Amino acid sequence: MRTALLPIGDVDDDVLAHLALELSIFGDVEILPSVDVPESAYRPRRGQYLASDLKELTASYPHDKVLGVANVDIYEDPLRFVFGLADIRGKSAIISLNRLRGGAEILKQRAAKEAFHELGHTFGLRHCPNRICVMTFSNSLADTDSKGKDYCYFCTLRLRTAGVFP
């Protein structure tokens, strides 16, 4: 499988390299050239960018999965903000680093968890009730920090059944 990371706007190269390494469990990972953050996705009333508009940027690439990585605050109605957004059983997903801030290592860990989470959705996984599974819903940084970066036994089994893992 071929996965691409699409930097949207100014994204730290170290974070992208870390994500590429972590996501290599799915196969080949390519870091694409950065694209500009489209102003059409900005919603002045909210002071945020609409996640689904940014996710659309990932649709035209020929890879099996494309994960957009942005550094702007994103939301999707009816939520106040989201860490990411993905197509269920699709190829497109996006994460935002904006609310994942911390030290460099913490940012990388949080970004990897959200990347695994959103890509899990593209493989057909839904939110998991297991609080340490990476597929559990994160409504805050505390949620992201408390979950693991791995899929639980049942989510891994679903990924194997889908042919994602051997």
Q: Which of 30, 39, 105, 118 is catalytic?
A: 118
Find out whether the peptide bond into 62 is cis, omega within 30 degrees of 0: no
Whether residue 166 is predicted with pLDDT greater than 90 in this model: the reply is: no
pLDDT in tens, 75-128: 999 999 999 999 999 999 999 999 998 899 999 999 999 999 999 999 999 999
CA angle 162, 127, 41 (to 5 degrees): 100
Q: Is residue 166 part of a domain?
A: no
- Measured between its terminal Cα atoms, the distance across the chain in Å is 12
Q: How many domains does the chain have?
A: 1
Q: Is residue 19 part of a domain?
A: yes
Q: Is residue 118 flagged as an active site residue?
A: yes
Q: Is residue 130 part of a domain?
A: yes
